[in-house]
Protein backbone atom coordinates (compact mmCIF):
# COMPACT_ATOMS: atom_id res chain seq x y z
CA UNK A 1 0.00 0.00 0.00
CA UNK A 2 1.41 3.41 -0.96
CA UNK A 3 1.65 6.41 1.32
CA UNK A 4 -0.53 9.51 0.80
CA UNK A 5 1.32 11.98 -1.41
CA UNK A 6 2.81 15.00 0.37
CA UNK A 7 2.57 17.97 -1.99
CA UNK A 8 4.74 21.11 -2.12
CA UNK A 9 3.56 24.02 0.01
CA UNK A 10 4.29 26.85 -2.47
CA UNK A 11 5.23 27.43 -6.09
CA UNK A 12 8.76 27.65 -7.48
CA UNK A 13 10.12 30.83 -9.04
CA UNK A 14 11.50 29.34 -12.24
CA UNK A 15 11.48 26.10 -14.22
CA UNK A 16 13.17 25.31 -17.51
CA UNK A 17 14.03 22.16 -19.46
CA UNK A 18 17.65 22.69 -20.49
CA UNK A 19 17.85 19.65 -22.76
CA UNK A 20 15.20 17.21 -24.00
CA UNK A 21 16.70 13.74 -23.97
CA UNK A 22 16.26 10.71 -26.19
CA UNK A 23 16.85 6.96 -26.18
CA UNK A 24 16.81 4.20 -28.80
CA UNK A 25 13.74 2.05 -29.18
CA UNK A 26 13.30 -0.84 -28.76
CA UNK A 27 15.40 -1.29 -25.66
CA UNK A 28 17.73 -2.93 -24.83
CA UNK A 29 19.86 -2.58 -27.93
CA UNK A 30 22.09 -5.51 -28.94
CA UNK A 31 25.12 -6.29 -26.80
CA UNK A 32 28.30 -4.90 -28.32
CA UNK A 33 26.56 -2.12 -30.23
CA UNK A 34 26.48 1.59 -29.40
CA UNK A 35 23.33 3.68 -29.11
CA UNK A 36 22.66 7.40 -28.75
CA UNK A 37 21.19 8.05 -25.31
CA UNK A 38 20.63 11.35 -23.49
CA UNK A 39 18.72 12.31 -20.37
CA UNK A 40 16.26 15.15 -20.09
CA UNK A 41 18.00 17.80 -17.96
CA UNK A 42 16.10 20.56 -16.17
CA UNK A 43 16.71 23.68 -14.08
CA UNK A 44 14.60 24.82 -11.13
CA UNK A 45 14.83 27.91 -8.94
CA UNK A 46 13.02 28.24 -5.63
CA UNK A 47 14.19 31.25 -3.62
CA UNK A 48 17.94 30.95 -3.08
CA UNK A 49 18.02 27.32 -4.23
CA UNK A 50 19.09 26.71 -7.82
CA UNK A 51 18.63 23.09 -8.87
CA UNK A 52 19.49 20.72 -11.72
CA UNK A 53 17.50 17.53 -12.31
CA UNK A 54 19.25 14.55 -13.94
CA UNK A 55 22.54 15.96 -15.28
CA UNK A 56 23.29 12.83 -17.27
CA UNK A 57 24.34 11.92 -20.81
CA UNK A 58 24.19 14.75 -23.36
CA UNK A 59 25.98 15.02 -26.73
CA UNK A 60 28.22 17.76 -25.33
CA UNK A 61 28.36 19.44 -21.92
CA UNK A 62 27.48 22.68 -23.67
CA UNK A 63 24.00 21.19 -24.10
CA UNK A 64 23.57 21.77 -20.35
CA UNK A 65 25.83 24.74 -19.75
CA UNK A 66 24.81 26.99 -22.67
CA UNK A 67 21.07 27.07 -21.88
CA UNK A 68 21.91 27.48 -18.20
CA UNK A 69 24.09 30.50 -19.07
CA UNK A 70 21.28 31.88 -21.23
CA UNK A 71 19.13 31.91 -18.09
CA UNK A 72 21.84 33.92 -16.34
CA UNK A 73 23.44 31.24 -14.18
CA UNK A 74 26.81 29.51 -13.95
CA UNK A 75 27.57 25.97 -12.75
CA UNK A 76 28.97 27.42 -9.51
CA UNK A 77 25.55 28.94 -8.75
CA UNK A 78 23.81 25.56 -8.54
CA UNK A 79 23.00 24.59 -4.95
CA UNK A 80 21.25 21.25 -5.48
CA UNK A 81 21.28 18.33 -7.92
CA UNK A 82 18.47 15.76 -7.99
CA UNK A 83 18.89 12.24 -9.40
CA UNK A 84 15.73 10.47 -10.55
CA UNK A 85 17.73 7.24 -10.16
CA UNK A 86 21.32 6.03 -10.33
CA UNK A 87 21.76 4.90 -13.93
CA UNK A 88 24.79 6.70 -15.41
CA UNK A 89 22.79 8.25 -18.25
CA UNK A 90 21.10 10.39 -15.58
CA UNK A 91 24.06 11.17 -13.31
CA UNK A 92 27.23 11.40 -15.43
CA UNK A 93 27.62 15.19 -15.38
CA UNK A 94 26.85 15.90 -11.73
CA UNK A 95 30.44 17.05 -11.17
CA UNK A 96 29.78 20.07 -13.39
CA UNK A 97 28.20 21.63 -10.29
CA UNK A 98 30.94 21.75 -7.63
CA UNK A 99 28.95 23.59 -4.96
CA UNK A 100 25.81 21.49 -5.12
CA UNK A 101 24.50 18.96 -2.67
CA UNK A 102 22.91 15.89 -4.25
CA UNK A 103 19.47 14.43 -3.50
CA UNK A 104 18.44 10.87 -4.31
CA UNK A 105 16.22 8.09 -3.00
CA UNK A 106 18.32 7.55 0.14
CA UNK A 107 19.56 10.92 1.25
CA UNK A 108 21.39 14.18 0.71
CA UNK A 109 25.13 14.27 0.00
CA UNK A 110 27.77 16.98 0.16
CA UNK A 111 31.49 16.19 0.05
CA UNK A 112 31.92 13.46 2.68
CA UNK A 113 28.59 14.10 4.46
CA UNK A 114 25.64 11.73 3.97
CA UNK A 115 22.33 12.83 5.50
CA UNK A 116 20.14 9.76 5.47
CA UNK A 117 16.45 10.36 4.93
CA UNK A 118 13.63 8.51 3.17
CA UNK A 119 12.64 10.09 -0.12
CA UNK A 120 8.89 9.68 0.22
CA UNK A 121 7.50 13.16 0.87
CA UNK A 122 10.96 14.66 1.40
CA UNK A 123 11.18 18.40 0.72
CA UNK A 124 13.95 19.73 -1.50
CA UNK A 125 12.55 23.25 -1.15
CA UNK A 126 9.11 24.67 -0.28
CA UNK A 127 7.99 24.21 -3.89
CA UNK A 128 9.52 20.79 -4.47
CA UNK A 129 8.80 17.39 -2.91
CA UNK A 130 10.09 13.93 -3.71
CA UNK A 131 8.00 10.84 -4.27
CA UNK A 132 9.34 7.29 -4.11
CA UNK A 133 8.36 5.64 -7.42
CA UNK A 134 10.35 2.41 -7.88
CA UNK A 135 9.78 0.31 -10.96
CA UNK A 136 12.30 1.29 -13.62
CA UNK A 137 14.86 0.75 -10.86
CA UNK A 138 14.57 0.09 -7.15
CA UNK A 139 15.91 3.59 -6.48
CA UNK A 140 13.61 5.71 -8.65
CA UNK A 141 12.06 8.91 -7.37
CA UNK A 142 9.71 11.44 -8.95
CA UNK A 143 10.29 15.13 -8.32
CA UNK A 144 7.02 17.03 -7.83
CA UNK A 145 7.30 20.73 -8.62
CA UNK A 146 4.51 23.22 -7.91
CA UNK A 147 4.29 25.97 -10.53
CA UNK A 148 1.80 28.75 -11.25
CA UNK A 149 0.48 26.58 -14.09
CA UNK A 150 0.01 23.46 -11.96
CA UNK A 151 1.99 20.47 -10.73
CA UNK A 152 4.91 19.22 -12.83
CA UNK A 153 6.28 15.68 -12.39
CA UNK A 154 9.90 14.97 -13.31
CA UNK A 155 10.05 11.19 -13.58
CA UNK A 156 11.42 8.12 -15.35
CA UNK A 157 8.06 6.35 -15.15
CA UNK A 158 7.80 7.50 -18.78
CA UNK A 159 10.79 7.60 -21.13
CA UNK A 160 8.84 9.93 -23.41
CA UNK A 161 5.16 10.67 -23.99
CA UNK A 162 4.39 7.28 -25.57
CA UNK A 163 7.00 4.84 -24.26
CA UNK A 164 7.10 2.42 -22.67
CA UNK A 165 3.62 1.68 -23.97
CA UNK A 166 3.30 -1.25 -21.55
CA UNK A 167 6.00 -2.68 -19.26
CA UNK A 168 9.40 -1.06 -18.78
CA UNK A 169 11.75 -3.20 -20.92
CA UNK A 170 14.55 -2.98 -18.34
CA UNK A 171 12.33 -2.46 -15.29
CA UNK A 172 13.10 -4.08 -11.96
CA UNK A 173 9.46 -4.33 -10.79
CA UNK A 174 6.69 -4.09 -13.36
CA UNK A 175 3.87 -4.16 -10.82
CA UNK A 176 5.39 -1.21 -8.97
CA UNK A 177 6.07 0.55 -12.28
CA UNK A 178 2.39 0.59 -13.23
CA UNK A 179 1.22 1.32 -9.69
CA UNK A 180 3.39 4.44 -9.52
CA UNK A 181 2.37 5.58 -12.98
CA UNK A 182 -1.20 5.58 -11.73
CA UNK A 183 -0.14 7.29 -8.52
CA UNK A 184 1.52 10.16 -10.40
CA UNK A 185 -1.35 10.56 -12.87
CA UNK A 186 -3.84 10.64 -9.97
CA UNK A 187 -2.20 13.94 -8.96
CA UNK A 188 -3.47 15.41 -12.26
CA UNK A 189 -0.12 16.92 -13.23
CA UNK A 190 -0.23 19.79 -15.70
CA UNK A 191 3.00 18.50 -17.23
CA UNK A 192 5.19 15.39 -17.11
CA UNK A 193 8.91 15.75 -17.81
CA UNK A 194 10.04 12.23 -18.78
CA UNK A 195 13.48 10.67 -18.57
CA UNK A 196 14.31 10.71 -22.28
CA UNK A 197 12.04 13.13 -24.10
CA UNK A 198 10.35 16.51 -24.16
CA UNK A 199 7.79 17.49 -21.56
CA UNK A 200 4.23 16.45 -22.34
CA UNK A 201 0.71 17.07 -21.09
CA UNK A 202 -0.72 13.76 -19.83
CA UNK A 203 -4.13 12.69 -21.05
CA UNK A 204 -6.38 9.66 -21.59
CA UNK A 205 -3.90 8.12 -24.05
CA UNK A 206 -0.91 8.40 -21.73
CA UNK A 207 0.44 4.88 -21.06
CA UNK A 208 -0.41 3.65 -17.59
138-173 pLDDT, tens digit each: 999 999 999 999 999 999 999 999 999 999 999 999
Confidence check: pLDDT of 2 > 90: no
Per-chain mean pLDDT for the chain? 96
Give the per-residue pLDDT at 167: 97
pLDDT tens-place string over residues 39-55: 999 999 999 999 999 99
Residue 173, CB-side half-sphere exposure with 13 Å CA sphere: 13
Query: Phi/psi class of residue 66: alpha, beta or left (left: φ > 0; alpha: ψ in -120 to 50)?
Result: alpha
Using CA atoms, how far residue 82 sits from 98, 130, 182, 189, in Å, is: 14, 10, 22, 19
Cross-strand pairs, 14: 45
* 115 contacts 107 by C-beta, under 8 angstroms: yes
Give the per-residue pLDDT at 4: 84
pLDDT tens-place string over residues 33-92: 999 999 999 999 999 999 999 999 999 999 999 999 999 999 999 999 999 999 999 999
Confidence check: pLDDT of 184 > 90: yes
Amino acid sequence: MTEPVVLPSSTVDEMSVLFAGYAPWPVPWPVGTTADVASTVAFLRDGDQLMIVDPGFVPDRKAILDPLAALGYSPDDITDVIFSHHHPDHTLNAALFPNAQVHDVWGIYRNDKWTFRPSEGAPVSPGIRLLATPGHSEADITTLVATDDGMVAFTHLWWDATTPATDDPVGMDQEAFHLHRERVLALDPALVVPGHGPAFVPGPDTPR
